[in-house]
A and B are shown apart, each in its own frame.
Chain A
């Protein structure tokens, strides 16, 4: 049979045109951008025939490609940051982005706490900064079409280096304020040097509900003995199509505790790619997604235990209301030499309404014979007995439901050690439940 050439959708055509128009003005090496764009040019947006996107057909979901946002004026950026609410009460070093561009005037580069170095990505790309060689530490991400699009279009971002024990959290604050839909592509690289420790906070929000299209990548290299806590909140506007990637490479004796909490966007796909490259490292990778109306929320995860004696725990909770669709795809890979690996992955989904749907695909790929790996997936509605118990004690049904949903999501959120961060996340769960009514 003849090979089938697919027609490009309007969104795909627009992206090709956008790349042609922008590649000369984007900072850094054009060649590597063109390389990253090549696969997209050939295959277009990933669709349901591509196994990893089976449940999230981006070709169908992304109907139009929004234009890439221009750098906002300082006034505009300041106004946007005043309106930003996420983690406002948390004491942190803030690194703000408005419309996908770093607001460098808002950062006191000289006054940063000891142990933190921040380099704006746009200028680093333009000048060929030495840290650039550390970008793209995880191969699984580099092969991913969403990541490749980010590599082609990334306009701004930061590179952060952490040395020693840093107690103040670093808050990467992404705000989109444009009143018309815009696309953004940011890249953040965080290098946590040996024995250092840090708490990273990411918030993604919009000051309006426009159909923005962010594609954000955060890359983390945790060197030997490094300890990283990471909290990510997706509070994008109701119309947003949010693509995001968290790629992490862990050294020996390191630890990672990360959570992604999603309450926003009309469509989101959050990808986590983790590689254990040194022994005796532990990772707790959590997620809590709240979906309503016709939202589509996808969490895709690949964890490669490339070194022996590592432990990973993955716990993902999804609450589905209205006619929303939840997706969880997780894969634990254990190569032949990674003996004594201990990996446990769990995905639990709660369907609150008749129209909701959940697709779970927890995979294991194991080549070593002395390992402990398990995966679990559950899907169901609220337990009638539990509801009855609470209602019998005088709680009205909506309250009883809310309490149970909170408890369900709480299991994933309670791993956040920092009190103010955990409380902020719980508050966002409560706000979601209140809005549900």
Chain B
């Protein structure tokens, strides 16, 4: 069945030539020398005022990276990247480490205003306590320019700051957790990131604390010929809860820019982390010229008992996406969830999915992925669900729908399902009723067909998560959610 007209219209609205965030900000920038060498790494490390151990860590990663080969198994094709043609560090020249918003270049503040990101705490209307507030860490090329609500979060015991600051102020915490989920040698891009990462967020939520507000980071690539290599580390200590959002945009350019991030999440006993992404990097033009290469390693470690990690992603941008937010379900009874909506248009290539690695007893995971391919794009879901010998009682439900609009695009599904434990129950789109028989029954009783009920429940669930996004990020996401997947294939 072909896609319904309504869907076609809605996807059209987010086509590559409709990209709204493609403007450029004129700021004088300070850059590292072009290319990658030990000196550049020393330069970055010195700029960040890092301790010796951190520099050594970077240099080790660099040495390792030189022996590695770029992966080519993903279903994407692009011209070879010249890693010596990239600037690995770019920061606004005037005061790269502002102490308050007043010191930030007004041009940059205007950029965030234009993007709809609130950086001023005082902008909240006097006397009116808003329902939900969001603390924002704004990363501009290689540096964090502002982090809001830091003080208030500190009162609750939550540490929320740029990672470069955390390396200086909380070296022990960083040392204890950095690289424990995504090892330095994990893969080509993660190793590169370990060598040259510039900024990103560090979050630590102490035991028993429910983070009083949403945390978010807004990544902006602005400078030409640069790559952005951010590193995010989130630790939810025993019994804590945190919801973190990430947004990204970049100017329209004819060149391709590399974005190779590493995100590590660690959830200890009974902790919960919700990580949401609205990825809207510049996707290139309709002919496929320009756009961001988004090669990202994101992984969460449910290290403690009863811990929960939820990934939600809305992917509309990037020329090429290579991204598999994963969960290592180590703790007994831990839970991993992955909700993804990936829309590709123009000449975009998406190869995305997740890994759910069941190691602990009674671990559960759920994967809901929707891919929509239009134009001449390629949209691939690639996912792994595995249960190890000791993962008794592991449970997974996977549902991945794809929808094609037009016959010049492609939608592919490459799931890997590996079970080494007889008591593990894995279902890959086996039966819709398994979503929740009670909910299905309830809907059907009220006259909804099987399909309508499934759609309602799945949409309801994803919506539930996405409604947690602040409005600034959610406009696009909400629009996407309403896209009907009628006519989709397996």
Contact = CB atoms under 8 A, between A and B. Distances in A.
Interface stretch (A22-30, A181-189, A220-228, A378-386): A378-386
Contact of A370 (B1, B402, B412): B1
A377 B67 CA distance: 38
Contacts of A353: 422
B73 A51 contact: yes
Given A376-B427, A378-B427, A379-B426, 6 more contacts: A364-B402, A364-B490, A367-B407, A369-B406, A373-B490, A380-B423
A378 B428 contact: yes
A357 B420 CA distance: 4
B418 interface: yes
Most chain A CB within a 10 A radius of its CB, from B402, B409, B423, B430: B430
Contact of B417 (A337, A344, A359): A359
A381 B393 CA distance: 10
Contacts of A356: 420, 422
B404 A366 contact: yes
B422 A362 contact: no
Given A363-B413, A377-B426, A377-B430, A1 B489 contact: no
Nearest to A358: B419
Nearest to A359: B418
A138 B490 CA distance: 26
Nearest to B490: A374
Question: Interface residues of B toward A: which range?
Answer: 35 or more
B50 to A, nearest CB: 30
Instruction: List the 9 closest A-B pairs by CB distance, nearest first.
Output: A374-B490, A351-B422, A360-B417, A369-B404, A380-B425, A377-B428, A373-B489, A364-B413, A379-B426
Nearest to A362: B415
Most chain A CB within a 10 A radius of its CB, from B2, B409, B490: B490
B60 interface: no
Question: Interface residues of A toward B: which range?
Answer: 35 or more
Interface in A171-205: none
A359 B385 CA distance: 10
Contact of B428 (A336, A354, A359, A375): A375
B406 A354 contact: no
Contacts of A163: none
Contacts of A362: 413, 415, 417, 428
B415 A363 contact: yes
Contact of B418 (A357, A372, A380, A381): A357
Contacts of B209: none
A116 interface: no
Contacts, number: 119
Given A336-B407, A336-B408, A354-B421, A360 B489 contact: no
17 contacts: A51-B73, A337-B407, A348-B430, A351-B419, A357-B418, A358-B418, A359-B416, A360-B416, A361-B416, A364-B402, A366-B402, A366-B404, A367-B404, A367-B407, A373-B490, A377-B426, A379-B425
Nearest to A366: B411
B471 interface: no
A153 to B, nearest CB: 31
Contact of B430 (A336, A344, A378, A381): A378
B404 A1 contact: no
A351 B423 CA distance: 8
B67 A369 contact: no
A352 interface: yes
B417 A366 contact: no
Most chain A CB within a 10 A radius of its CB, from B402, B405, B417: B417
A344 B199 CA distance: 47
B410 interface: yes
B412 A366 contact: yes
A378 B399 CA distance: 12
B428 A372 contact: no
Interface in B304-344: none
A365 B411 CA distance: 6
Contacts of A124: none
B410 A369 contact: no
B433 to A, nearest CB: 13
Nearest to A326: B419
B69 interface: yes
Nearest to B386: A359
Nearest to B413: A364
B429 A374 contact: yes
Interface in A9-48: none
B3 interface: yes
Contacts of B406: 369
Given A366-B402, A366-B410, A380 B420 contact: no
Most chain B CB within a 10 A radius of its CB, from A337, A348, A363: A363
Interface string B44-61: 000000000000000000
A217 interface: no
Contacts of B134: none
A367 B412 CA distance: 8
Interface string A315-333: 0000000000000000000
B367 interface: no
B448 interface: no
A354 B411 CA distance: 36
Contacts of B124: none
Given A1-B67, A364-B412, A377-B415, A369 B3 contact: yes
Contacts of B490: 344, 364, 373-376
Most chain A CB within a 10 A radius of its CB, from B406, B407, B415: B407
A364 B429 CA distance: 13
Contacts of B489: 364, 366, 371-374
A351 to B, nearest CB: 4
Interface string B448-490: 0000000000000000000000000000000000000001011
Given A363-B414, A379-B419, A368 B407 contact: yes
Contacts of A377: 415, 417, 426-430
A337 to B, nearest CB: 8
Interface string A44-56: 0000000100000
Nearest to B2: A370
A254 B420 CA distance: 40
B263 interface: no
Contacts of A307: none
A336 B415 CA distance: 22
